[in-house]
Structure 1
Amino acid sequence: MGQGENMSAVEQTTEMVSTSKFSRRHFIQGAAVAGAGVALPMTGALGSSVAGAAPTTLRVAIGKIANAPTPFSTNDAGSLQILANVGEYLSWSNDKSEIVPRVAESWKASAGGKIWTFKIRQGITFHDGSALTADDVVWTFKSHLDPANKSNAAGKFKGILNSAGVQKVDKYTVKFELLAAVGTFPYLVAGTSYGLLIIKNGESGGPTWETKMNGCGPYIFESYVKGDRATFKKNPKYWDKTRQPKFDKLVTISFESQEAAVAQILTGNLDATTGISGATAAKINKKKIDLVNVKSVGHLMVHMRSDFGPFSVDKRVRQAAALTLDREGFLKGVLKGAGSVGNDNVMDPFPTADKSVKQRKKDIAAAKKLMAAAGSTGFKVDLSTYHRDDIDLLAPFLKSSWAEIGIDLNLGKISDSYYTAPWDANTAKKQESNFWLESNCGITEFGHRGAPAEYLTRVFRSNGDWNAAHIKDAALDAAIDEYNTATTPAKAMVASKKIQELSLDLSPYIIAYFEVRTSAVRKGLKGFYTNGMGQFDAAATA
């Protein structure tokens, strides 16, 4: 890498991505897309174009499909993007991060936010022709809350909602009686909530759903090749007359690298790709491809396990690691400004954040003092994660940064097996398995949420099922409960400040930046966007 040790972590990472050449991994995947057998040129791939006839099929490159695209198992960008077009949620998060009605026409709170009543829209049918009613909504939520189904969505409701609280009022009204008041409950059941699309009463959201995908969305399932692609046809009976599908078919193709997908837009094999990095966006010829940007609170989260392994010895080791990062330099130099600086907590992007909390900045001298005070001279530790463009940028930056205080981050364990059981941090063992919830250090992607409640409940709370850092702190738990039950913005801000400060003190996680979601689309394609979560609305595209 050029000058090696004489270069800063940002300079090393920038040099790595400064050319338009693809890695072998990117090249192989791009050449194989859609069965086209088209070999990508190794140079100039981001600056040439092939014109073609107006397509009747919308072809979209999506993220890697780590888990099956079913309501119970989805927890990654690829499977979520499939579900967003075949299924329908109570509400949808648009490109402005607003939640807009879909299956639910309206909702209202009572009892100080402890009861939420949703009016269900009439006239919606599943793809098999059956009408959607309150029975289907009740079945959906009770199914997710049933421990036997092992739904990935269940953890978000821990301490908030149980099965008994999901109640049918009449044929088109559903009531949720919560265990505790939550002022942002509608965000917890919106489209950004992964698998909470409405399941037909009596059907399973497990493995069998993958074979037919009986949703009520704008596209109807035709076929699915595991981990690769899915094909759909438009739904001629789609309920929303303002968003009728314009394309006869939709094909989603899973890509490990969205940079390879960009090249396939230029050769005419794809129409759009979602989630490209700022580094990739900076290299694109804007005369050939349009870029669509959406603000997001999505991010990459680095966990440092606090109950086992080298980071658990002393919180000052974790604090030191966080102080090595030149966040602003990485955002500007590597991501080309596509995002906002993070401060190791999930509260900052939301209106209730307390802006008086000091931003963490690179300070190697302070980091070395903390390491010495903790009695640490450094150590070697594996980085557990998987390959995708943004992670492949952050990982070497993290390695170079930590090296300045003697932490040797091994990148040799990055593998597609990262998302492997256990799926609940509360059942994870104290061992290094290089799996998400059983690893000393890892990078996990988190999609956009309209409110921080799910991050707090599942990631930062002591009993959270996604608590990869295994942080357990009574004061932090109390602050989270205080925030989730706050009845005014002022009270929420007081609780937010506590969470922000405790996150910095305990340092279980590093959040270096928050994303801007960028999609690349072919010239002439109109209406295509992803929301902050990365879901795209094929029905809005023409």
Structure 2
Amino acid sequence: MTLDRLKTLTRTRRLSRREFIQQAIAAGITVAAAEGLFTAMARAEPKKGGRFRMGLGSGSTNDTLDPGSIPDTFNQVVAWGALRSSLTDVTADGTIVPDLAESFESSPDAKQWVFKLRKGVEFHNGKSVDANDVVASFQYHLGADSKSAAKPLLADLTEVKADGKDTVVFTLSNGNADFPFVTYDFHIPIMPAADGKVDWESGIGTGPYVKSRYEPGARFEGKRYANYHGQTYFDEIEVLSIIDVAARMNALITGEIDFADRADLKTLPMLQRNPGVVVSEIAGFAHYTAPMNCTVAPFNDKNVRLALKYAVDRQELVNKILLGHGTIGNDNPLAKGVPFHADPKEQHAYDPDKAKFHLKAAGLQSLAVDLSTADAAFAGAVDSALLMKEQAAKAGIDINVVREPNDGYWSNVWLKKPWCFCYWNGRTTADAMFTTAYVTGAAWNDTFWSNAGFDKMLAAARSELDANKRAGMYAELQNLVAEDGGALVLMFNNLVNVHSDKLAHGPVAPNYDVDGMKIAQRWWFA
């Protein structure tokens, strides 16, 4: 067990002094050092109280509390991080741990998983959580007409049933060593059920905050739930959608909010000079993409897709859009911190001559395409499109930049226009990322890419329990996505957020932005 992991467990009161010292000794720390460390942490014990206000650069009037379709950070923080809980949770160091579950274990072939529920957990309306709520919450995503983004993650789930009030048994058609991570997905929180039907409209959940006010794409307010089964600190939270980055930064500086995501990188040095502002930056799993619809001409031609991949100077994008706060993408959506990450064999470095070669292979001398963009996709998206236009021109490619409205971007542009921009938080496992966005027919497969070989190998990798064999399979899957897929993975953006120096927190999770979407639960006022 690592030192950070020990600190996290202690801070969340999952380890007593005695347990901490025992684990610290096992990790090679002396008794004296362990005693001193535990005492120092105890003195820095998080405090309860206060109203936490955050401003987020996402949100739309089309937003919903429906967990199967929550589209952006605003609703992920609200509908999952504040209102609801999942069977499992992932710590800042990437460890899967029980949340609503008390424990989980699998059969030797990982085809059956048994989850024991934590006793005494209640929904915000006072109803006790039982196995029937869990069954209905999972079945909600499985219907024939379901368009839930979680549906492909549960494609191998053949049965979910209650075994008494406190036990749920999941049966899979194929083994899945990562199934506990599937139950952590933010689309699959546990909701109250009656007669097999879940209630998602009310926002009633088992999360740390009870809904007081919800205006889609504008504002959420919540109060701490007295009977929450875990630890949380703020008395109240307020989440504001502030799309304009300048307005968001100004709201922080003037004290209107305590936290802002997606910091304005252009003014970051000025923000850092403000004595009341703290900059938080970590290299996470998040990335910016330009998905092409592979079913629509000219993107249905692999050579056109490759031409565009070679026509983009990713390093220039990192330098000018991220101002160095990130790394280049190579059309592989798995960040280096994701288990089984592998660099694709082909590196799509900027090469206008190679772009021209692939255009010629597609029977084209030149190419004219529209690229839909709005800064709602990610901060700097419009500037990115204009840079890409300049870069691609050297390869004989004319990119017409179409500026779309910020409001409604995720419902009217993404998954609708043939070529646009997208922001991905990434996923904790390779399987989750590929299953959510790259497998044939997935609701969030924004490239509409279909590769039978990819689908077959992904299913095999999911059920392979030998780590070395899985690594080889996932390496090949990353090669397939990079070379044949329809997503230009442009860059991995560091998670750069800013907050008041009155806030305190433990280790920050890299898997999703805003501390794994759990900031309202994990942070406190010092």
Counterpart of 1:166 (choices 144, 160, 178) is 160
**Counterpart for residue 320 of structure 1:** 307
**8 Å Cα contact 1:301/1:511 also seen in 2:** yes
Seen in structure 2, the aligned counterparts of structure 1 residues 304 and 283 have a Cα distance that, compared at 3 Å, is farther
Counterpart of 1:135 (choices 132, 136, 139) is 132
**8 Å Cα contact 1:138/1:174 also seen in 2:** yes
**Counterpart for residue 345 of structure 1:** 332
Q: CA deviation at 1:296?
A: 2.0
Counterpart of 2:211 (choices 218, 221, 228) is 221
Q: Which AA in structure 1 matches 2:124?
A: H
Counterpart of 1:397 (choices 376, 383, 387) is 387
Q: Which AA in structure 2 matches 1:480?
A: L
Q: Which secondary structure state, in structure 2, belongs to the residue aligned with residue 116 of structure 1?
A: strand
Seen in structure 2, the aligned counterparts of structure 1 residues 406 and 418 have a Cα distance that, compared at 3 Å, is farther
TM-score by length of structure 2 reads: 0.82
Deviations 1:268-287 (A, max 9, x none): 10000123364454552243
Q: CA deviation at 1:103?
A: 0.8
**Counterpart for residue 189 of structure 2:** 197
Deviations 1:336-383 (A, max 9, x none): 332232211224533323347243211122222222232212233222
**Counterpart for residue 117 of structure 1:** 114
**Counterpart for residue 98 of structure 2:** 101
**Partner Cα distance (1:455, 1:76) in 2:** 16
Whether 1:539 aligns to 2:517 is no
**Partner Cα distance (2:497, 2:445) in 1:** 30
Seen in structure 2, the aligned counterparts of structure 1 residues 293 and 465 have a Cα distance that, compared at 3 Å, is same
Counterpart of 2:417 (choices 439, 442, 454) is 439
Q: Which secondary structure state, in structure 2, belongs to the residue aligned with residue 410 of structure 1?
A: strand
**Partner Cα distance (1:147, 1:279) in 2:** 47
**8 Å Cα contact 1:86/1:221 also seen in 2:** yes
Q: CA deviation at 1:449?
A: 1.0
Q: Which AA in structure 2 matches 1:490?
A: N
Q: Which AA in structure 1 matches 2:293?
A: R
**Partner Cα distance (2:253, 2:344) in 1:** 46
**Partner Cα distance (1:526, 1:395) in 2:** 37
Count of residues in correspondence between the two structures: 465
Task: Pick which of 453-462 and 178-187 moved more.
Answer: 453-462
**8 Å Cα contact 2:56/2:242 also seen in 1:** yes
**Partner Cα distance (1:294, 1:319) in 2:** 31
**8 Å Cα contact 2:288/2:424 also seen in 1:** yes
**Partner Cα distance (2:197, 2:68) in 1:** 5
Whether 1:296 aligns to 2:284 is yes
Q: Which AA in structure 2 matches 1:194?
A: F
Q: CA deviation at 1:317?
A: 1.6
Structure 2 unaligned residues grouped into runs of 5+: 1-47
**Counterpart for residue 17 of structure 2:** none
**Counterpart for residue 238 of structure 1:** 228
Please provide the CA RMSD for this pair: 2.5
Counterpart of 1:490 (choices 455, 462, 468) is 468
**Counterpart for residue 258 of structure 2:** 271
**Partner Cα distance (1:478, 1:281) in 2:** 45
Structure 1 unaligned residues grouped into runs of 5+: 1-53, 421-433
Q: CA deviation at 1:82?
A: 0.4
Q: CA deviation at 1:461?
A: 2.2
Whether 1:80 aligns to 2:76 is yes
Task: Pick which of 115-124 and 521-530 moved more.
Answer: 521-530
Q: Percent identity?
A: 25
**Partner Cα distance (1:515, 1:232) in 2:** 30
Question: Residues 380-419 of structure 1: matches in 2 within 5 Å?
Answer: 380-388=368-376, 389-415=379-405, 416-419=407-410
Whether 1:56 aligns to 2:50 is yes
Deviations 1:397-450 (A, max 9, x none): 322222222322222242344433xxxxxxxxxxxxx74333321212222311
Seen in structure 2, the aligned counterparts of structure 1 residues 502 and 536 have a Cα distance that, compared at 3 Å, is same
**Counterpart for residue 64 of structure 2:** 68
Whether 1:255 aligns to 2:246 is no
**Partner Cα distance (2:386, 2:106) in 1:** 47
**Partner Cα distance (2:437, 2:219) in 1:** 30
TM-score by length of structure 1 reads: 0.79
Seen in structure 2, the aligned counterparts of structure 1 residues 278 and 161 have a Cα distance that, compared at 3 Å, is farther
**Partner Cα distance (1:209, 1:268) in 2:** 34
Counterpart of 1:180 (choices 174, 181, 189) is 174
**Partner Cα distance (1:367, 1:203) in 2:** 57
Counterpart of 1:309 (choices 297, 306, 312) is 297
Q: CA deviation at 1:118?
A: 1.5
